[in-house]
Structure 1
Amino acid sequence: MIKKFISLFLITFFMPHWISAEANEENERKWQDETIYYIMVDRFNNGDIKNDFNVNAKNPESYQGGDFQGIIDKLDYLKDMGFTTLMLTPIFNNEENGYHGYWINDFYNTEDHFGSLKTFKRLIKEAHNRDMKIILEFPSNNIGPNHPWLKDSKKRDWLRGSMEHKGIGENTKENEFSNLPEINKKNPEVQKYLIDVAKWWIAETDIDGFQLNLTQNEPEIFWGEFSKEVYESKDDFYLIAGTVPSDLNADKYEKMGMKSLINDSFSNELRSAFSKPDQSFENLFVNQNQSELSEKSPYLMGKYMDNPHTPRFTSGAVKNNQHPGPRWKLALTYLYTTPGVPIVYYGSEIALNGEEEPNNRKIMDFRTDKELIDFITKLGELRQQLPSLSKGTMEVLYKDDSAAVYKRVYNDEVTVTVINNSSQSTAITLSAEELGGKDKELRGLLAGDLVRPKDNKYIFVPDREESEIYILKGKTGLNIPLILSLTAVYTAFIVFIIALRKRAKKKRS
């Protein structure tokens, strides 16, 4: 207990010096440095009750009040957690009950339930004032079942298949996309329209990126032209492929102009590996290596635990009779410390529960326990301060049936992450050569652990279901000048208090 107290004391005073020494000296933030928060607009926060028409908070298949003003009101909350980019579900004008944004009625207008174009522009401005970026999900595959194009004979070639209204039934996963009219992106007029829409939103609102849900049989030449036009509209614009067809590889995405893609298979392995204790990391690391080999820039790979179309990660933990908190902490540690861009779905910071759609889209609750929020905040802080966590090479040093150790290296900075997904404490021994030399020490940045080599070996003893992120530094003893300075300050303070008490006592006499 005393040893732990001393370690935490030293961490409290010395960690700012360790971190500042390793801060990224580059002023320009790259996309691989981003940490993304994914928001379903209707379910995040209700900031303007004036647009709450036909809202039914008791019906998960109806609008529930979230809007642009609600996001503006929570920008500081999100920035404080370390998020640098917000990715929003589609905001275009939708048909009745299209709360999710996928039943497009008008590409050139915002959804009335979310607020006006003027309010959306203010959201962009307020985000940029906080050095945050905004990515819009841009649905280019389908339109709503009552879209005006269906009644325009001149638009018959703009759609694939029949132009008859099929009806969409209930707002569920099975019907959300299955009966929607499909846009014919092989039509040159359609291609021009979609490019014009994209460029209009960039020019009009100054957004920073689009997430594009690509499907099979996509015309690669069109996406090449789309990306060319978009990138000419704004410097450092970001195109991320949101749905990855199994028959497309990274080279094809690069030819289509995509700067990044969201690796669904990796995220599935991530969810599986941390859904309960005592599971091997083998498949997760194999998938990680395959992703790095198949992409020229693995640091730009988007990876997530949840998204609007998956059951909540919390629901998997609950099914396995696990407390969600430890499960989330281990999974988020891996998400934030391995190559790629972390994408955190709204509500993850409170372990929001929910299985299939629409139950995975519950309204956000801001009155909740802050333990997981504080943990995410710490991870976000470390990821921004330590460039090795976003740019560094990755080497797995140890893995067994339930624990893993890996290091990231960028220039002279070395970070080491230890994750124990076991239901019991474990001991891990690594050589000094593997970790960077015998005259070093590993200083823990989450719990304040300190590991020094003994006989040229580093020994880690992580508790069950615990993780730690270490930074490798040269051995240090006690910082005597700092301790003396602090002692002098505390002594002066105590003397001052005593003097005040004596003076007050003398006055009373």
Structure 2
Amino acid sequence: MMRSLPFSVRPFALLFLMMFSLALHAQAVRLDKVEPPNWWTGMQWSEVQLMLYGDQLSGCTARFTDERLEIRAIHSVPNTHYAFVDVFIPEGLPPDDYTLIVENNGNETRIDFPIYERERSGPRHQGFSQDDVVYLLTPDRFANGDQKNDDLPGLADFNPEEAGKRHGGDLQGIIDQLDFLADLGVTTLWLNPILENNGPNSYHGYAATDLYKIDARFGSNEDYRRLVEEAHKRGLKIIFDHVNNHIGINHAWMTDLPRPDWVNGSKADHLTDKHYLLSITDPYAAPNSEQLQKSFWFVDDMPDLNQRNPFLANYLIQNTLWWMEYTGLDGIREDTYPYPDQEFLADWVKAILTEYPNANIVGEIWALQPSYIAQFQKESHFRRDFETNLPSVMDFPLSEALRSYLRGEGRLRDVYDVLAQDFVYTAPDQLLTFIDNHDMTRAAYEAKGDTDRLKQALTILLTTRGIPQLLYATEIGMVGGESHIELRADYPGGFPGDRRSAFTEAGRTELENDIFRTTRQLLHLRKQYPALRQGRLVHYPMNWNNNVYKYLRLHESGDILVLINGDDAEKKVDLSELEPLLGNRLQLQDLLQDRQLNLSIDEGITLEKGGVRIFLLRNGR
């Protein structure tokens, strides 16, 4: 028989029981989220490291209700809000919603972890190559297809009247223009990042606050998958703009770091302006220079991630694999490639291309020295400490040569000089070539109204070696402005209230239609003639009295001759240098003017000022 406590003791006992109950409640394990949120059967990456978010997770145990899912390790970290669980997914496991049970202090909590069957039908993970032309667009500035997601609670910043704010472009807007892009002649779309960027002035997308979620102002995860599917139906591919180097300051990690070394530095104390790119290869670099350039923050709102942390390294690799598998993406453009830990990046590339061997990855290495850029391409002639595994790099040296020519400062000889250094690359055809991008003043801005030079630069871009990339609205000669915000202007006709639509011939000005017709013609010629994509490049040097660039693209299906007159006057082009390859007589089809020429090689061809000719050689070799 339970004895009653004396009345005078009861308040103290009740208080003790209340405090004991609260202590038990405070120690109850809580599981709020798991990342990745699901996985798939049949993946080569079959041991997945789950990142658990919640409370009282330090020292927890974990198991699945189905024992076929094997827990191989549980990693506690000092922050009790996180734990990491290594799970092996066996071959042949049936797709299902599996339940993860986490226990601590005698309490347990559960969460679903779906395992899906992989999608294997249709075009997926196709990669991109010199057979493609990449069209780069800033989603917020391209087209607004769904006004309902313009201004959402908790995701402010929508103001079309202010240049640095959100303007409302979204995934539906891109889907609406896929037919226009396919008709233009591009084959691959590169979207600036579309993950959630819940911060001020982050329309550009490079300050992610959730790495598993599409920004709701662009649409949903499912909308992104639908974009990939709709693009594939039209023969278009999609490149994912990815960032291993940094996140946005408003990411939840930044108020509750999983581990102290999750980022380099802290919000209150971090390095800035350490763009020591050449330190990676500089034989005279000061000690720690390379480490400094790996660990600084570009701006205060972009914390620098520390990929040397093994849990973060796994997280970033799995996150990329997740997006590839979830959507069927064809490739990746990796932002700020020299700044993360390089050995991590080599592992990251290897994991992606092991899982998706037909995919492709291009790295942004913003430097003007071909020998520096070349060290990042796989099987480099220069790197001996480790293999980068990276198939493609961005060709900033060629871009600068073309831009210098557009400005009137350089000559076509500069283009020749850059290409003559291709011996430093292991695969120059796999370089991503461009005149401008979302970080550079536009080609038309650099040309200062010289449409002939703009057309010449576009001709070189679309007929020389490499994988060409066009910035959105280049096909209409958009000028933009000096700043990043000005150059990322809205595409006319993509937004409610626009007075005209440059997506249509009737909505374009006469000048825009002129540039559009030239760009579209070049794109379709490139698609039609394999020599312009795959042909061996043979080009001829220029002296300072001659600013005419001539080159051949030689291919078994037919050879192409390209002539560019960079002089300020009409020029008689000497073709005698071509005789060892082409013989004494030439039968030429002018692909731009659709006419035939039959001439002796010593006759030459006259080009007007600013002239461009593309000839198909009819007589063969």
TM-score by length of 2: 0.66
Give 2:570's aligned residue. Answer: 425
> Is residue 146–residue 165 contact of structure 1 (8 Å, CA) maintained in 2?
no
Larger deviation, residues 111-120 vs 217-226:
217-226
Q: Which amino acid aligns with 2:264?
A: R
Cα deviation for residue 124 of structure 1 reads 0.3
Matches within 5 A, 1:64-79: 64-79=167-182
Q: Is 1:474 the equivalent of 2:619?
A: yes
Q: Could you say if the C-alpha distance between residues 435 and 467 of structure 1 is closer, same or farther in structure 2, counting changes exceeding 3 Å?
A: farther
1:92-131 aligned at under 5 Å gives the runs 92-96=195-199, 97-131=201-235
1:12-411 map, 5 Å: 31-53=129-151, 54-96=157-199, 97-164=201-268, 177-179=298-300, 180-216=302-338, 218-244=340-366, 248-254=372-378, 255-276=387-408, 280-290=411-421, 292-318=422-448, 322-323=449-450, 325-353=451-479, 354-365=481-492, 366=502, 367-368=507-508, 369-397=512-540, 399-400=542-543, 401-411=546-556
Contact residue 194 and residue 215 of structure 2 kept, 8 A? yes
| Higher relative contact order, structure no. (Cα contacts within 8 Å, ≥ 6 residues apart) | 1
Q: Could you tell me how far apart the structure 1 residues matched to 2:339 and 2:482 are?
A: 31
Q: Deviations over 1:203-247 (max 9, x none)?
A: 111111111124445433222221122123324111100234568
Could you tell me how far 1:194 is from its partner in structure 2?
A: 0.4
Task: Give the Cα separation in 2 of the matches to 1:441 and 1:398.
Answer: 24
Cα deviations by residue, 1:386-428 (Å, 9 ceiling, x for unpaired): 1111111212236354321111112252100011122321111
Partners of 2:249 and 2:530 lie apart in 1 by 47
> Deviation at 1:280?
2.4
Other structure's SS at 1:136 match: strand
Summarize deviations over 1:293-330 as a string: whole Å, max 9, x none. Answer: 12121111111111111111222222xxx33x322211
Residue by residue over 1:159-190, the C-alpha shift from the partner in whole angstroms, topping out at 9 and shown as x without a partner, is 00114499x9xxxxxxx942221001111111
Q: Which runs of 5+ in 2 are unaligned?
A: 1-125, 152-156, 273-296, 379-386, 493-501
- Does the alignment pair 1:451 with 2:549? no
**Residue in 1 aligned with 2:82?**
none
In structure 2, C-alpha distance between the alignment counterparts of 1:99 and 1:220, rounded to whole Å = 28
- Give the Cα–Cα distance (whole angstroms) in 1 for the partners of residues 128 and 581 of structure 2: 28
SS in 2 for 1:196: helix
Give aligned pairs, total. 434
Residues 275, 313 of structure 1: 8 Å contact kept:
no
Tell me: CA distance 1:162–1:473, structure 2 relative to 1, closer, same or farther (3 Å): same
Encode CA deviations 1:263-313: one digit per residue, 9 max, x unaligned. 112201111113339x522222111121x2121211111111111111112
In structure 2, C-alpha distance between the alignment counterparts of 1:469 and 1:29, rounded to whole Å: 29
- Following the alignment from structure 1 to structure 2, what is the Cα–Cα distance between the partners of residues 399 and 226? 43
- Write out per-residue CA displacement over residues 91-134 of structure 1, whole angstroms, 9 at most, x where no aligned residue: 11002331000111000000111111111111100100111110
SS at match of 1:352: coil
Change over 3 Å in CA distance of 1:217–1:429 after alignment to 2: closer
1:419–1:468 Cα contact (<8 Å) kept:
yes
Q: Deviations over 1:330-385 (max 9, x none)?
A: 11000011111110001111111122211111001223232211111111111112
Kept in 1, the 8 Å contact 2:337–2:363? The answer is no
Q: Is the 8 A contact 1:451 1:459 kept in 2?
A: no
Note if contact 2:405-2:412 (Cα within 8 Å) is conserved in structure 1: yes
Query: Helix, strand or coil for the counterpart of 2:420?
Result: helix
Checking the alignment, whether the CA contact within 8 Å between 1:203 and 1:233 is kept in structure 2 is no
2:127–2:330 CA contact under 8 A, matched in 1: no
CA distance in 1, matches of 2:516, 2:460: 16
| 1: CA distance, partners of 2:373 / 2:611 | 36
Q: CA offset at residue 30 of structure 1?
A: 6.3
Residue 9 of structure 1 aligns with which residue? none
Q: 1:127 to 1:412 in 2, by over 3 A?
A: closer
Change (3 A) 1:346 1:165: farther
Deviation (angstroms), 1:458? 4.1
Q: Which has the higher helix share?
A: 1
Q: Distance in 2 between matches of 1:197 and 1:72?
A: 24
> 1:217 and 1:137, CA in 2 relative to 1: closer, same or farther beyond 3 A?
closer
Unaligned runs of 5+ in 1: 1-27, 169-175, 476-509
Alignment partner for residue 588 of structure 2, among 442, 445, 464?
442
From the CA coordinates, give the structure whose radius of gyration is larger.
2
Aligned-residue Cα RMSD (Å) equals: 2.4
Separation in structure 1 between the aligned mates of residue 373 and residue 459 of structure 2, nearest angstrom:
28
Deviation, structure 1 residue 52: 1.1
The one-letter code sitting in structure 1 at the alignment partner of 2:514 is E
Say if 1:158 and 1:184, in contact at 8 Å, map to a contact too.
Answer: yes
TM-score normalised to the size of structure 1? 0.80
Asked if structure 2 preserves the Cα contact closer than 8 Å seen for 1:149 and 1:155, the reply is no
